[in-house]
């Protein structure tokens, strides 16, 4: 059996930047074991699998090299990019995923892809886990949490950029991952409202290059702190990525660019 595969760099307009995701579209679901094996072989942050139903909705699932992921933003962006390219006449795509329901995706006039996600605003944590404190070389100023991750607030960009981590300690926080973030203040980040990094040793690997799902929490968190609902974010990994975020009640609109890296076939 041959399966078409597309590899897309998401949240960037430049190849080799942003976050790579593989996209596989099938008529029927492959077995869970086969999807996990393909994701492991791809060794990207995520591989997205899609099946179209008779109502025109694409059911989507996401797999890291280690496990199935409940919600992935950058692979959703990559999947929408593939579908818009295959069907230039369509204006709206609807995805369905168990953890987040129906997701509506559109292309904006600027060419960016806008995704309508649930607002996952995190809550402040008073009792910070020992594994989180031991797992980061710089002590948090504040810590927040939702169902995906702990969100560590720092005062300085240098803390976000230079913090060292102990992955064995952070794995103890499973199934939650760890985000470090701060307000963007310096001239080098003048085009952004906040920056972040995402560590996920328990679920995917060392550091995720750009994490759309995390920004459904980061955007409302910083919207409250900065008093604005439209924010531009930079995820400060080695590859880097830019996300436009709009907080609208219980929804967060996240927009970004994407670029094709590869099209090929899997033989299984």
Closest CA to 261 of 65, 44, 100, 111: 44
Distance between CA 158 and CA 160 in Å, rounded? 6
| Set 4, 27, 46, 157: catalytic member | 46
User: CA 264, 259, 213, 50 torsion: positive or negative?
Assistant: negative
Distance between CA 150 and CA 5 in Å, rounded? 33
Measured CA to CA in angstroms, residue 75 lies from 9, 47, 258 at distances of 9, 7, 10
The verdict on whether omega for the bond into residue 175 sits within 30 degrees of 0, i.e. cis, is yes
The pair of three-digit structure tokens given for residue 77, joined into one six-digit string: 């962006």
- 46 included as an active-site residue: yes
Residues acting as catalytic residues = 46
């Amino acid at each position: 059996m041959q399966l078409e595969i597309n590899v897309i760099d998401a949240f960037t307009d430049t190849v080799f930047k942003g976050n790579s995701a593989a996209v596989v579209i099938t008529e029927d679901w492959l077995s869970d074991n086969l999807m996990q094996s393909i994701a492991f072989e791809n060794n990207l942050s995520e591989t997205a699998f899609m099946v179209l139903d008779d109502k025109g909705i694409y059911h989507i699932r996401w797999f890291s090299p280690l496990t199935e992921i409940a919600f992935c933003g950058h692979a959703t962006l990559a999947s929408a990019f593939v579908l818009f390219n295959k069907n230039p006449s369509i204006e709206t795509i609807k995805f369905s995923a168990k953890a987040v329901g129906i997701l509506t995706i559109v292309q904006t006039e600027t060419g960016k892809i806008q995704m309508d996600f649930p607002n996952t605003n995190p809550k402040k944590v008073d009792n910070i886990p020992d594994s989180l404190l031991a797992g980061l070389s710089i002590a948090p100023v504040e810590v927040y949490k939702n169902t995906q991750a702990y969100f560590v607030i720092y005062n300085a960009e240098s803390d976000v950029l230079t913090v060292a981590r102990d992955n064995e300690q952070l794995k103890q926080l499973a199934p939650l991952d760890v985000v470090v973030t701060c307000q963007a203040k310096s001239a080098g980040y003048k085009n952004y409202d906040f920056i972040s990094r995402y560590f996920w040793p328990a679920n995917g690997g060392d550091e995720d290059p750009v994490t759309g799902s995390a920004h459904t929490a980061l955007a409302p968190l910083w919207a409250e702190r900065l008093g604005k609902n439209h924010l531009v974010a930079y995820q400060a990994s080695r590859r880097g990525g830019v996300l436009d975020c709009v907080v609208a009640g219980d929804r967060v609109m996240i927009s970004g660019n994407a670029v094709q890296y590869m099209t090929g076939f899997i033989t299984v």
